[in-house]
Amino acid sequence: MDDIAHLSALDRADALEAELRERICLLDYLPGQRLSETELAEEFGISRTPLRKVLAKLEGAGLVASRHGVGTFVTELADEELDQIYRLRLELAQLAAKLDPVPPAPETLSRFRRLAERGRALRPDPDSPRPLARLIYDFIQVQAELSANRPLMDFATHLYSQTARLWVHSLYASDLDLGEEIAIFAREVEDILQALETGDLEAAALIHRAHVSMSWRRLRARRLTRS
């Protein structure tokens, strides 16, 4: 990518990490997909050494896994691991309104409104999960602005990214009603926006927690249908 070629080595590494993280979260790279170091180094115009450092950071974040002598792969999660993350997310979801909550700035509210508009306009595309993944990814970034407790929000954002990409991927691999699932997520954004517009951060956090719980229940129900 020519747009990072002019950056310093440190900034280039940060930009590369952000780009790869986004591609994984948006399902440009699917769970289980092998990442070619040669192709990535050529695409981004960097040597293999800094690339491997970036991949090591992504591995530390649980987004990729390196297999000696085989390569680097986008991570998948076993059902038990996914359940553990969902249980942790349920506990973290309600903390955002308790630990250093930040009343949304006008720009933050505007971003939530734009997300709500996108949710209402989004139509099911059975051939590509990217539009839904993009909407969820952008929602995660805006939601992180509702607390000044950075360790909490960084951790919550990390866990959300892990489960969201796998949830969207599994959704497209199932026979669930895609339109209904999009409508459910759009309703979550609308409900959170309404709570924020009245200044009720606790209600916004509880709404999000309820939707996390319901999405987890639907995920588990889908497993039972599959087995």
What backbone torsions phi and psi does residue 224 show, to the nearest 5 degrees?
A: -65, -40
Q: Is the confidence at residue 107, as pLDDT, over 60?
A: yes
Its pTM stands at 0.84
83/67 same-domain check: no
Top pLDDT among 165 and 74 is at 74
Which of 23, 53, 74 is the C-terminal boundary of a domain?
A: 74
Tell me the torsion sign for CA atoms 42, 129, 85, 208. Answer: positive
> What CATH number is associated with residue 92?
1.20.120.530
Question: Considering only CA atoms, which of 174, 187, 157 is closest in space to residue 22?
Answer: 157
**Tens of pLDDT, residues 177-223:** 788 889 999 999 999 999 999 999 999 999 999 999 998 998 888 87
Which of 74, 107, 123 is the C-terminal boundary of a domain?
A: 74
69/83 same-domain check: no
61/83 same-domain check: no
Number of domains in the chain: 2
State how far the Cα of 28 lies from the Cα of 20, in Å rounded to an integer.
Answer: 9
State how far the Cα of 108 lies from the Cα of 123, in Å rounded to an integer.
Answer: 25
Q: Which domain holds residue 70?
A: 2-74
**Tens of pLDDT, residues 18-76:** 999 999 988 899 999 999 999 999 998 888 899 999 999 999 988 999 998 899 999 99
Is 65 in a helix, a strand, or coil?
strand
State how far the Cα of 204 lies from the Cα of 198, in Å rounded to an integer.
Answer: 10
89/180 same-domain check: yes
Is 223 in a helix, a strand, or coil?
helix
Count the helices and strands in the chain (H runs, E runs).
9, 3
121/169 same-domain check: yes
88/177 same-domain check: yes
Label residue 7 left, alpha or beta by phi (over 0 means left) and psi (-120 to 50 means alpha).
beta
User: What pLDDT does 7 receive?
Assistant: 61
Q: Is the confidence at residue 6, as pLDDT, over 90?
A: no
Write the DSSP symbol of residue 74: E
38/142 same-domain check: no
State how far the Cα of 153 lies from the Cα of 148, in Å rounded to an integer.
Answer: 8
54/112 same-domain check: no
